[in-house]
């Protein structure tokens, strides 16, 4: 840890001390106000000691301590109090997760694993149980390309570890399930924000429910940012612009969400579109050309049904249609003072259905059965040069896959639960069988000891298998095999002293047939099953809530992820992750200050050099119902100390002819945002 890092830690600790001192100074007033405001609540409600329930771990509701998985839950209250702007911001705060950004997309790392060139295809992302990964890249979109406004999120459940026994492909390292807010909670709500780099956003939402059971929620969001007007990349000092990329960091998006519920049926529609400039000269394109950009579209219609026929039988089903679109504009240098405009597109559409039945035939058993079918109507990829007109790729495909699963949770003894499950998946070129087993010992409601084993797979996607742009920079590999992972978890979860929750765990996993982006003899990008990886790790976390409304969390993760064949550490894999956040009421339950610290140790780049290891600090001042009922306001400062932060660049950033490879990508310095929301 270098001198600058130690200084940042010292400064950050000083900030926390000042905040805690301020909290202590006004604690007597806050506590008295909290007692006045919450006097009608029971002691358990007041201390917030109830054990949370989750649905993602088993596809039915159960307590966190009973779930056969390591779970984290992020509530909407945390999203507002810490000023999180995107889903990536939220996930960056979760113990054990880290996020990289190449100034176009955000990539999630889990348990020390985040391969440069991957498109978040090893995490399954869901909204209310609806799969969001597309059918071309299998991307779990978490940045500004995520199509749902995060103000519509009620809570986020993150399940660590393999989930293919329930969810099939892409539930490799974990499952993220986003639960949306109710119409009663939203009512009529308007929101607007402004931030640095000429950034603004606006949202309007409307929710209503009637005595007949009809429930409606409508929402629309607009976002626009000019981005940094000038970004410097020393590797491109000899390129046009002298290493500066001007007006190429822009970002804009729009989204619409609608949900109508009646009785046991819910119809949901979501559409989002985002346009982002590419300031890094990726894929061998001309550096400092603001015309280079990508456009992503994602939408779906989902008709779902859920009904509890009795305490022992619940049935859910859904029918869906999904759309994904991608348009990339790239400018390539011909080497003779001329350039070529290249258009890269992908179009995906699919429909499908799934159903899950949960029943309790005996007091000590909970059985779950499920089936899923997906017909990929279009998995089309196209690449053309505009002038002169040349078609480099025109690949049109369709496919079908389906899966069946079964799971049984039963009690050997009253405090000992055993979970066993298996899923079979059928694809055009392979089949996959993935089991799951878990022992959960709960001698008390607030204590859980878990021993878990699971296997998962990731099917090679259409982009990895079939994309080749006429030999310009990429070639396909249709013979790719699915990746496989085996994971063992040991976890101890403990609630204590009425208002604390702690977790201590260890894990080991081994990945075989790992699909990695590399280059062939002609220096073209290609995906191959060339690696095996394994990792060992330890995770600790401590959460607390207090009677005056304060809430905080500390977490530390150590992991070592290595290549099995060489023993070398994996690139973009931090050995240490440490996080701390605290939300403290300054006045009643209406004004909060929320500082947050995040640290990741250095990560290896693709040539073996290392990123730096800064401590980043964020600070948000949040108020609600202060002066006006229904009014929320927040002021956030991100990267409070303006530290220099880097993320690892993928192979696509090393394709510039006659220029050194771009190994790290500089992230934003100090930033701010002001936000107002009004609900009535």
| Confidence at 131, pLDDT banded by 50, 70, 90 | very high
**Checking phi first, is residue 170 left (phi over 0); if not, alpha (psi -120 to 50) or beta?**
left
Which of 68-72, 145-149, 183-187, 338-342 shows the lowest per-residue confidence on average (mean pLDDT)?
338-342
Q: How far apart are CA 69 and CA 88, in angstroms?
A: 22
Residue 298: what pLDDT?
A: 98
Nearest Cα neighbor of 603 from 641, 639, 559 is 559
Mean pLDDT value across residues 542-546? 95
Q: How far apart are CA 584 and CA 619, in angstroms?
A: 12
Show the CA angle centred on residue 96, arms to residues 94 and 99, nearest 5°. 70
Residue 37: what pLDDT?
A: 44
The answer to whether the pTM exceeds 0.85 is: yes
Give the whole-number percent of the chain exceeding pLDDT 70.
Answer: 92
The H helix count followed by the E strand count for the chain is 7, 36
Q: How far apart are CA 471 and CA 244, in angstroms?
A: 29
Mean pLDDT value across residues 614-634? 94
Mean pLDDT value across residues 297-314? 95
Q: 155 vs 73, 158, 205, 598, CA distance in Å?
A: 7, 10, 18, 21
Q: Does position 9 have pLDDT exceeding 70, yes or no?
A: no
Nearest Cα neighbor of 95 from 71, 119, 75, 116 is 71
| Confidence at 6, pLDDT banded by 50, 70, 90 | low
Q: 377 vs 295, 560, 677, CA distance in Å?
A: 21, 41, 41
pLDDT digits (tens, 9 = 90+) for 260-280: 999 999 999 999 999 999 999
Q: Does position 443 have pLDDT exceeding 50, yes or no?
A: yes
* DSSP 8-state code for residue 81: H
Residue 213: what pLDDT?
A: 87
Nearest Cα neighbor of 329 from 342, 313, 318 is 342
pLDDT digits (tens, 9 = 90+) for 316-338: 999 999 999 999 999 988 877 78
Give the whole-number percent of the chain exceeding pLDDT 90.
Answer: 77
Q: Does position 598 have pLDDT exceeding 70, yes or no?
A: yes
Residue 50: what pLDDT?
A: 65
pLDDT digits (tens, 9 = 90+) for 162-209: 999 999 999 999 999 999 999 999 999 999 999 999 999 999 999 999
Query: 640 forms bridges with which residues in the sheet?
Result: none
Residue 653: what pLDDT?
A: 84
Q: Is the dihedral of CA 554, 490, 124, 305 positive or negative?
A: negative
On whether the CB atoms of residues 650 and 279 are closer than 8 A, the answer is no
Q: Does position 18 have pLDDT exceeding 90, yes or no?
A: no
Residue 11: what pLDDT?
A: 45
Residue 652: what pLDDT?
A: 83
pLDDT digits (tens, 9 = 90+) for 94-125: 999 999 999 999 999 999 999 877 889 999 99
On whether the CB atoms of residues 614 and 624 are closer than 8 A, the answer is no
Residue 14: what pLDDT?
A: 46
Mean pLDDT computed over every residue of the chain: 91
Q: What share of the chain is helix, strand, coil (3-state, %, to 5)?
A: 10, 55, 35
On whether the CB atoms of residues 96 and 110 are closer than 8 A, the answer is yes
Structure tokens at 222: 């607009």
Q: How far apart are CA 160 and CA 454, in angstroms?
A: 11
Mean pLDDT value across residues 434-457? 96
Q: What structural domains does the chain harbor?
A: 38-238+247-544+558-576 (2.40.170.20)
Q: How far apart are CA 59 and CA 116, in angstroms?
A: 32
């Amino acid at each position: 840890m270098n001198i600058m890092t130690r200084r940042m830690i010292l400064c950050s600790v000083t900030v926390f001390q000042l905040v805690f001192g301020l909290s202590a100074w006004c604690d007597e007033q806050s506590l008295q106000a909290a007692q006045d405001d919450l006097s009608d609540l029971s002691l358990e409600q007041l201390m917030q000691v109830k054990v949370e329930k989750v649905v993602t771990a088993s596809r039915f509701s159960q307590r966190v301590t009973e779930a056969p998985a390591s779970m984290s839950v992020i509530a909407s209250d945390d999203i507002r109090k810490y000023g999180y702007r995107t889903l990536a911001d939220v996930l960056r705060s979760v113990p054990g997760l880290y996020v990289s950004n190449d100034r176009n997309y955000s990539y999630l790392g889990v348990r020390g694993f985040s391969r440069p060139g991957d498109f978040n295809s090893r995490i399954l992302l869901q909204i209310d149980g609806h799969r969001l990964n597309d059918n071309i890249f299998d991307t779990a979109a978490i940045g500004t390309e995520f199509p749902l406004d995060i103000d519509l999120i009620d809570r986020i459940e993150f399940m660590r570890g393999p989930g293919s026994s329930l969810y099939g492909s892409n539930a490799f390292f974990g499952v993220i399930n986003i639960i949306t807010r109710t119409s009663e909670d939203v009512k009529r709500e308007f929101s607007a924000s402004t931030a640095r780099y000429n950034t603004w956003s606006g949202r309007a939402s409307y929710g209503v429910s009637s005595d007949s059971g009809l429930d409606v929620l409508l929402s629309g969001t607009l976002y626009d940012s000019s981005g940094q007007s000038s970004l410097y990349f020393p590797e491109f000092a000899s390129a046009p612009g002298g290493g500066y990329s001007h007006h190429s960091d822009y970002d804009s998006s729009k989204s619409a969400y609608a949900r109508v519920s009646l009785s046991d049926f819910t119809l949901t529609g979501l559409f989002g579109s985002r346009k982002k400039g590419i300031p890094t000269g990726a894929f061998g394109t001309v550096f400092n050309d603001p015309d280079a950009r990508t456009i992503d579209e994602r939408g779906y219609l989902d008709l779902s049904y859920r009904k509890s026929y009795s305490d022992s039988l619940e049935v859910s089903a859904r029918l869906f249609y999904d759309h994904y679109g991608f348009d990339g504009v790239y400018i390539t240098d011909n080497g003779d003072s001329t350039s070529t405009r290249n258009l890269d597109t992908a179009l995906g559409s699919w429909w499908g259905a799934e159903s899950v039945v949960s029943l309790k035939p005996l007091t000590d058993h909970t059985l779950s059965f499920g089936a899923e079918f997906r017909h990929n109507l279009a998995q089309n990829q196209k690449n053309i040069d505009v002038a002169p007109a040349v078609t480099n790729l025109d690949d049109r495909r369709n496919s079908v896959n389906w899966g069946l699963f079964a799971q049984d949770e039963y009690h050997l003894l009253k405090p000992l639960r055993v979970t066993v499950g298996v899923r079979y998946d059928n694809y055009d070129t392979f089949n996959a069988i993935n089991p799951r087993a878990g022992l959960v010992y709960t001698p008390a409601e607030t204590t859980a000891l878990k021993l878990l084993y699971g296997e998962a797979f990731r099917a090679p996607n259409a982009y990895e298998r079939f994309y080749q742009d006429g030999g310009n920079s990429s070639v396909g590999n249709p013979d790719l095999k699915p990746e496989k992972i085996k994971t063992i978890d040991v976890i101890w979860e403990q609630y204590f002293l009425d208002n604390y929750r702690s977790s201590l765990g260890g894990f080991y996993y081994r990945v075989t047939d790992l699909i990695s982006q590399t280059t062939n003899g002609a220096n073209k990008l290609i995906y191959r099953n060339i690696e095996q990886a394994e990792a060992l790790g330890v995770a600790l976390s401590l959460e607390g809530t207090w009677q005056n409304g304060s809430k905080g969390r500390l977490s530390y993760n150590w992991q070592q992820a290595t290549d099995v064949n060489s023993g070398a550490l994996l690139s973009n894999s931090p050995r240490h992750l440490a996080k701390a956040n605290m939300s403290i009421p300054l006045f009643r339950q209406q004004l909060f200050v929320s500082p947050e610290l995040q640290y990741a140790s250095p990560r290896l780049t693709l040539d073996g050099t290392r990123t730096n290891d800064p401590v980043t600090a964020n600070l948000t001042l949040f108020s609600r119902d202060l002066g006006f009922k229904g009014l929320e306001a927040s002021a956030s400062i991100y990267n409070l100390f303006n530290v220099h932060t880097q993320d690892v660049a993928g192979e696509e950033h090393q394709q510039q002819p006659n220029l050194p490879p771009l190994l790290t990508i500089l992230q934003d310095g100090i930033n701010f945002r002001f936000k107002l929301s009004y609900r009535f």
